[in-house]
Amino acid sequence: MSGLEHAIPYHILKTAHVTGAVLLLGNVTVTGFWALVLWRARDTVPFRPVARAIMRADYVFTLVGGTLLTMSGILMTLKQGLSITGTPWLLKGVVALAVSVVLWAVALLPDQWRMERVAQDDHAGLRRLFLRWSVLGWASTALLFYGLWAMVSKR
């Protein structure tokens, strides 16, 4: 990091870290909720624009929040001289975030892309995609909340 962790005051890093967590967790939780509400109203609200909005929200809030969370976390870890593998609560939080990111990149984003492009009359295909996206999305969200718990409780 070439001294960057020393150049930024700890309270600024901590503020960035909490802001990143709020943006990331807030977006994935609220997106899951509203997607379910709008899925149930899909007879009156076309779902393709909903899928498009989910993608845009992910690009803005999930990517920005996740980047802020990760970068500030790395800098705070370096600043405090902590070892990820030697600090159980830190390791748990990092692993939870990493698994959640892998799920997001490997399954959720491709499913979102597919939901945005599925044919309007392919109800079975859309249902299959939405169900998989929802199950994996809530599992990924639960991992993020577990990571938050590990970091806050330091357990």
pLDDT tens column, 17-69: 999 999 999 999 999 999 999 999 988 888 888 899 999 998 899 999 999 99
Give 70-77's long-range contacts (Cβ < 8 A, gap of 24+). Answer: 70/20, 70/97, 71/16, 72/13, 72/14, 72/16, 72/17, 72/20, 73/17, 74/1, 74/5, 75/1, 75/4, 75/5, 75/8, 75/13, 76/5, 76/10, 76/13, 76/14, 76/17
pTM of the complete model: 0.91
pLDDT tens column, 60-77: 999 999 999 999 999 999
Structural domain boundaries of the chain? 4-153
